[in-house]
Amino acid sequence: MALLLAKLVVAYLLGSLSGSLLLGRLRGIDIRQSGSGNAGGTNALRVVGWRFALGVVAIDVGKGALAALLGLAPIGATAATPFAALTVAAACSFAAVIGHCWPVFFGFRGGKGAGTALGAGLVLAPALAGMMVVLWLLVVASTRYVGLATVLAGLSFPAFVLLAGQFGHARANAMLVFSIAIALLIVFTHRGNLLRLWRGQEPRLGGGGKP
């Protein structure tokens, strides 16, 4: 149990290493003071540019993948069975996403969790993560609403798990719980985007901040 708790703490701390805020410090900026105020890749793109945003996304996706790998690592009692390892990996992944959204190193003001969740998904269920990316790209291409695309991709995660999994298996159950938790968190962190969409005020990608 102590090793499990240690993994969760390390995963949360890993998630707290926000890509936009770390890179922003190197450039003397805090993107939370500009644009939407969010410490994520989309705001980084709008405020600083695509090179900076690419670095942000690489860090945020990478730390999600590292958190999942940390959970899968066969250390002590956490290596009991493959199913238990996946459950631990899902828990560590979610801890990293929580760390990204509420980072202890940056006053608990972070991003919205999508990139870090994607990184974890690429390790835990790469095929499903790939399907979510395709859906995200299709929605962005057709609407240019990044927030809407992210919410729909997040909501598709448990649906894809249900379509691909087998009921009653520990592996499927672990992924289903993780996917539902991620979907609910993505909806929560994007609640402002959804409200602006409802009001017709959500800016489109490449629209200069205009709806």
pLDDT of residue 35: 72
Q: Which amino acid is at 178?
A: F
pLDDT digits (tens, 9 = 90+) for 64-119: 999 999 999 876 554 444 558 889 999 999 999 999 999 998 889 888 999 999 99
DSSP 17-85: S-HHHHHHHHHT--GGGSTT---SHHHHHHHT-HHHHHHHHHHHHHHHHHHHHHHHS--GGGGS-HHHH
pLDDT of residue 52: 84
pLDDT digits (tens, 9 = 90+) for 25-73: 887 787 888 777 777 777 787 777 788 889 989 999 999 999 999 999 8
117: exposed, middle or buried (Cβ count in 10 Å: 0-12, 13-18, 19+):
buried
pLDDT digits (tens, 9 = 90+) for 163-203: 887 455 556 788 999 999 999 999 999 999 999 999 998 88
DSSP state of 204: P
